[in-house]
Homo-oligomer: A and B are copies of this chain.
């Protein structure tokens, strides 16, 4: 039995899946309902253990690579063919929610359970992947695990010198979590023929599906993300004694640049351009001290790479201009990453669409404005993404929510898509 005969045999254990989502959210550095799970922290290690346990319970054979990407494999009847893979991440930025990424990991394991229970046997092997550090929280690098899988030599090298803001090296942190044994991250790189396809299930993180009452989003492209770190430096000084004309306040330079980011983004001419200053830190950070240093981290994205790069250029021009006008030093303007967008593969899109039709679920083709590990997996395999609605489009905050029914729909579409791709 290689093919799915009838989806009527598809049974998602929604109650148990919700239990798993709730249990996973308890591995957090911040109090519920918020979730904070930082790469290689104690809670991250506990959460990883939980995922490996669930993979094993689903009958998958579990393997981890040097950065902690976790793979659970269900061997197909033709194991020499490229496998079909699915997955997402479980790390969570500070004070965020419990669905981002998680739905695509726990949902993938449940999709395997659904297929097993239905009596399905895969032709190509199926693999569930939990990617390491999709979020850039600790080391400033987004999609760390999938970037490495995609073969980033630069990143494999850079990681040996990378430290977090507590000055803990990536190497040391990875080793403390049980990884990086051989000090060689190039072992993570995927071979070109490893995967025949990659599919990721994820909450939309936007309001469109909910607003339009549609069950499934079929992602055709992922917006091009970039992130920038900016540092300004001034003389600082006493907030009472230094008169205004004597000042070169690094904090005010940062405030101006934050507003300039918003201005350049709004002037791009497209609703698809976004830009955010999520981090702005002042030094020394005392009420009676003029800021002598300001550190900012800027995120900007677009589905049009050129338009986004043009915004980056304008942000840079503003930073230079502000620093000159204010007599503040522009200590750094570093583009940390400037990734191109990714397109979904036509065959994967077809498989997802036909799955929604067979399951009788409404669907809509859409763009992913958030980036995902799929952005990098697209470099190594035909890629597709399945979106489900989430409450008010909220994400990256405790109010993030997807209903059990919507999660169930997503798991079914994923299961059927995997079955189809496995049989190709």
Contacts and interface: CB of A to CB of B under 8 A. Distances in A.
Interface of A: 93-96, 135-137, 140, 142, 204-207, 223, 225, 227, 235-246, 249, 251-252, 254-256, 258-259, 262, 265-266, 271-292, 297-299, 301, 368-371, 393-397
A239 B396 contact: yes
Given A276-B288, A280-B282, A241 B94 contact: no
B279 A282 contact: yes
Given A223-B240, A241-B370, A370-B241, A299 B288 contact: yes
Given A227-B287, A289-B96, A271 B243 contact: yes
A265 B291 CA distance: 17
A259 B249 contact: no
A136 B285 CA distance: 12
Contacts of A369: 240-241, 243
Given A237-B394, A397-B236, A278 B288 contact: yes
A379 to B, nearest CB: 19
Given A255-B259, A278-B282, A240 B370 contact: yes
B286 A94 contact: yes
A254 B273 CA distance: 22
Contact of A397 (B140, B237, B240, B256): B237
Contact of A286 (B93, B204, B241, B283): B93
A244 B258 contact: no
A312 to B, nearest CB: 14
A272 B272 CA distance: 47
